[in-house]
Structure 1
Amino acid sequence: MNSVLAAGWYQGFVDSLPDGRLFSVRAVFDAIPTILEQLPVTLGLTLGGSLFGLLLALLFAIVKLNRVRIIYPIQAVVVSFLRGTPVLVQLMLSYYGIPLLLKALNQSYGLNWQINQIPAVVFAITAFAFNEAAYTSETIRAAILAVNSGEIEAAKSLGMTSSQIYRRVIIPNAAVIATPTLINTLIGLTKGTSLAFNAGIVEMFAQAQILGGRDYRYFERFISVALIYWAVSIVIEFFGRFIERKMAIPSSEELQVGGQHD
């Protein structure tokens, strides 16, 4: 997309826009190709945080549902802390805290981990993943509780183990229920990645700030990045609806109609 925007037609379009002293429409659209160069970083943070967050959320939900001894109180405290503190604070704790922990392990066990070579993206994804897990775990827990108990009993009667019931019955059905909420969470995480600039990561919002610092057109640059975030959110929402349609379980009436056509 960036190559398309960098083409001659787009530059001609930008040059035709008004360039006022107080507010420049040209500056809004002129910044979009440069900001889009950091779109892969933003998407990487989003995908990394959502994937690891989803796995953690599933683990948190299962621990809470089964009241696993020893682990459950720890999970409850961790989730309460993550919900009760701002994501920006969690990002800073991850950015500064993980290196301190690794240094302590180096000193205690004689390890030689190259902490300074760990990219800041790793710390940001860790913070976003835990923050997402704290909220998504309740969505997954509610979805698991909404699974038809009759299907679970049928799986038990077939001799399935607990892990098999989760893999083959509970998780697939819960995924259908939880998908709409998870898509909304993904959109929220996409917008939340704008905080990563506090950890020295140059994503789209940071790029907009850099451009604004060059000519002090901060307002125009922030409009540019807002338009891009808006467009990305629309694409994610469209993709989410597509996934919902694919995962939707047909009703008995639809199955009957399909059988009649056959």
Structure 2
Amino acid sequence: MFDGNFFVVTFLKLWKAVPVTLEITIVSLAAGIVLGFFIALARVHKVKVLSQISAIYVSFFRGTPIVLQILVVYSVIPSVLNAYFKSIGSSINIFDLNPIVYAFIVFGLNNAAGLSEVFRSALLTVNKGQFEAGYTVGLTYWQVYRRIILPQALTVAIPNLCNAAVNLIKNTSLAFMMTVKDITAVAKIEAAPGYNYIEAYLDIFVIYIIVCTVVQKLFKVWEKKAAAYKTAV
């Protein structure tokens, strides 16, 4: 039987875990944007070696399940590093690392692969002739990118950035696999004693809908402002 009281009480408790989910999302998204942008640049300009490495990186992270990536980063790599540190007589215990750091690494690397394709496609929409126009007025390569190319590319990329952010928020529900006490982990803990999993999962469902809806609204506002800039240009 559905326990309405448990549903309400747990719903309020889960809101206390929302900051953890948002922290993972913001840090991972920021890392993904920076790394993804430079990967996109390497591929757009076909930088020797870097473009090939970037292509392999993107193929790996986009072609493998994120659950597998979590298992590798959270279980395999720490075990190998810990064995190595012990073999050289080091007192470093890799397992003392805060689990949320693993979440930052996994989601950041995974997100960078997807965003690199977003940025690459956005950069390719900007006419190459604008580089020459920038150079003729004395701008450097990075000044052309910052003042001319990026504003236009970002306008094109915003809808896909929104999708990436929303997907990232939903993917953070897997952070419980790394013992991070996010929304999903707290819900499972609360539901376990009385087996109130239906109520707990409904709480998760409602909270994620609310959070994702707010994020989409914020991106809509950004998109409208960027569209006004594009029209002005």
Structure-2-length-normalised TM-score: 0.91
Counterpart-to-counterpart distance in 2, 1:51 and 1:242: 19
Report the secondary structure of 2:126's partner residue.
Answer: coil
* Number of residue pairs matched by the alignment: 232
Q: 1:204 to 1:180 in 2, by over 3 A?
A: same
2:118 maps to 139
Structure 2 unaligned spans of 5+? none
Provide the aligned C-alpha RMSD in A: 2.1
- CA deviation profile, 1:92-132 (whole Å, cap 9, x unmatched): 11112443464477579887655233211111111111111
Give the one of 59, 69, 81 matched to 2:38.
59
Paired residues of 2:155 and 2:230 also in contact (CA < 8 A): no
- CA deviation profile, 1:123-158 (whole Å, cap 9, x unmatched): 111111111111111111111111233432210212
2:152 maps to 173
Counterpart-to-counterpart distance in 2, 1:184 and 1:201: 24
Is residue 251 from structure 1 mapped to residue 231 from structure 2 by the alignment?
yes
Shift of 1:62: 0.7
Q: 1:164 to 1:29 in 2, by over 3 A?
A: same
Q: 1:110 to 1:169 in 2, by over 3 A?
A: farther
- CA deviation profile, 1:146-186 (whole Å, cap 9, x unmatched): 12334322102123332222222212221111011101110
Paired residues of 1:209 and 1:221 also in contact (CA < 8 A): yes
Report the secondary structure of 2:192's partner residue.
Answer: helix
Is residue 213 from structure 1 mapped to residue 197 from structure 2 by the alignment?
no
1:3 maps to none
Q: Percent same amino acid among aligned pairs?
A: 33
Paired residues of 2:14 and 2:186 also in contact (CA < 8 A): yes
Structure-1-length-normalised TM-score: 0.81
Is residue 33 from structure 1 mapped to residue 12 from structure 2 by the alignment?
yes
Which of these two proteins has the greater Rg computed from alpha carbons? 1
Structure 1 unaligned spans of 5+? 1-21, 256-262
